[in-house]
Amino acid sequence: MDLTGKVAIVTGVSSGIGRATAAALLACGAAVAGWGRTAPEGLDHDRFQFFACDVRDEHAVAEAFTNTQRELGLEIHVLVNNAGVGIFGPIDGFKSEDWHAMFDTNVNGLFYCTRAVLPQFKKQHEGHIINVASLAATAGTASLAGYCATKYAVRGFSDALFKELRPDGIKVTCVMPGSVETNFNGATPGAAPDPHKMQPEDIAAAIVHALEAPQATMISEIQMRPAQVK
C-alpha cells in the first residue's frame, strides 16, 4: 500500500510504540488519527489529529470513529490496534480488577476498534488492520499468565480475522515484539538506548513494512526479538 494520502487510526498513541508508529506513518505521507486517553507530547503535524478515546469503552470508540470520519473523511485505510496494558504477578495474588483491566484493554478494546472500522473497509474493499500483540502470544512466562492470556487471544483473533476478511480485500497483520524500551508496566526508558531492547521506532518500522507490502502480499505475522541478548 502506498501510504501517501491514506488515513490511519493508531490507538494508544500517547507514547511508546503508538506514538512512534504515528510519527512513522506521518513521515510516509499518511494522515493519522491518534486515539488515546492523553495526547502525545510534541507530535505536532498538520496531518495529525488527536481524538480522546478509552478503547475499553465501546461507546467512546464509536464516537471516536464518527469524529475521525467527520474530520479526516469517510475513507479509512489503516487501523493499528496498539493500545495495551501489562500487569504482572503470580496468579494466586492477582487482583481481579487488574485481570479485567488487561482483558478490557488488550482484547475487548481491540474488538471494539476492529468492529468500528470494518463496515467502511468492506465498502472500500480495502483496508489493513495491524494488531500489536507480543512474543507473550507464543509462549507462557511465569508471573505473566494474565498478560500472556490476553496476547494469545490477540493472536488467535488475528489469525481467524485474516481468514474471515481475505475475500473482502482486507489485510490483517499480527505484530509480536519482544523486549521494547517503553514505559510499559511502569518501566522508565533509560537516557541512552538499551542495546538489549528494541526501540519503539523499530516496531513502527516493521508496521510500515507490513503496510507497504505489495497488494498481492499479506504479511500475516511478524515476530520481533532484540538482535543481542544479555
Does residue 108 belong to any structural domain of this protein? yes
Taking Cα atoms as reference points, which of 68, 66, 62 lies closest to residue 50? Answer: 68
CATH number at residue 77: 3.40.50.720
Per-residue pLDDT tens digits for 76-125: 999 999 999 999 999 999 999 999 999 999 999 999 999 999 999 999 99
Catalytic positions, written as ranges? 147
Give the total number of structural domains in the chain.
1
Does residue 160 belong to any structural domain of this protein? yes
Phi-psi group of 127: left, alpha or beta (phi > 0 → left; psi -120 to 50 → alpha; rest → beta):
left
Per-residue pLDDT tens digits for 38-73: 999 999 999 999 999 999 999 999 999 999 999 999
pLDDT for position 7: 98
Cβ contacts of residue 66 below 8 Å, gap of 6+? none
Q: Using CA atoms, how far apart are residues 153 and 184, in angstroms rounded to an integer?
A: 19
Per-residue pLDDT tens digits for 162-207: 999 999 999 999 999 998 987 554 555 455 567 678 999 999 999 9
Q: Is the pLDDT of residue 135 over 70?
A: yes
Does residue 92 belong to any structural domain of this protein? yes
Does residue 31 belong to any structural domain of this protein? yes
Q: What is the CB-side half-sphere exposure of residue 19 using CA atoms within 13 A? A: 15
Per-residue pLDDT tens digits for 22-32: 999 999 999 99
Does residue 119 belong to any structural domain of this protein? yes
Does residue 83 belong to any structural domain of this protein? yes
Does residue 21 belong to any structural domain of this protein? yes
Give the sheet arrangement for strand 127-132, strand by strand: 48-52, 31-36, 7-11, 78-81, 127-132, 170-177, 221-224
Per-residue pLDDT tens digits for 163-173: 999 999 999 99
Give the range of the structural domain holding residue 191, as residue numbers without chain letter: 7-224
Q: What is the mean pLDDT of residues 210-223?
A: 97
Q: Using CA atoms, how far apart are residues 23 and 9, in angstroms rounded to an integer?
A: 12
Cβ contacts of residue 217 below 8 Å, gap of 6+? none
Does residue 229 belong to any structural domain of this protein? no
